[in-house]
Amino acid sequence: MYTLGQGVPKDHVEGMRWYRLAADQGHAEAQYDFGVKYSTGLSVLPQDDAEAMRWYRLAADQGEADAQYNLGVSYGTGEGVPQDYVQAHMWFNLAASRMTGEDRESVVENRDRVAGLMNPTQIAEAQRLAREWDAAHPREP
């Protein structure tokens, strides 16, 4: 509410304080939002790709599809992490399994684009990693 100025005066510092409290308590959406803010340098946070990846990973490990997608993009481009098409494909796969409609179509297009840069062994490895990740992180009903 502080970040948007809804019901209270707009105050990015106070808004970030509340985001941080939620993120530190394991709230996946707040962790994802923190990742976005570090990735873009929005609000009062400095642009920091490594810190963005840390927050995306925390959210992604809880099944936050947007964070999984952003990890796929980051591994595909090498921003904030070493470029790794296997990891990009894996994260895109996981995000696609959690999204619907146009969002899912966009993720699948990105996954397929990365797959075009990979050999069959790498694709199989990415699929195996995605299955293992899914098995280790069961979805809540």
Across 68-103, b (16+ Cβ under 10 Å) vs e yields bbbbbbbbbeeebbeebbbbbbbbbbbbbebbeeee
User: Per-residue pLDDT for the chain (141 aa), expressed as one digit of tens each?
Assistant: 888 889 999 988 888 888 889 999 999 999 999 899 899 887 767 899 999 999 999 999 999 999 999 999 999 999 999 999 999 999 999 999 999 999 999 999 999 999 999 999 999 999 999 999 999 998 876
Query: 56, 51, 71: which is closest to 129 by C-alpha?
Result: 71
Question: pLDDT value at position 117?
Answer: 98
pLDDT of residue 27: 94
Q: How far is CA 99 from CA 59, 60, 125, 132, in A?
A: 15, 13, 22, 19
- How much is the pLDDT for 141? 64
Q: Which two tokens stand for residue 81?
A: 């992490």
What's this model's pTM, rounded to 2 decimal places? 0.91
CB 132 within 8 A of CB 124: no
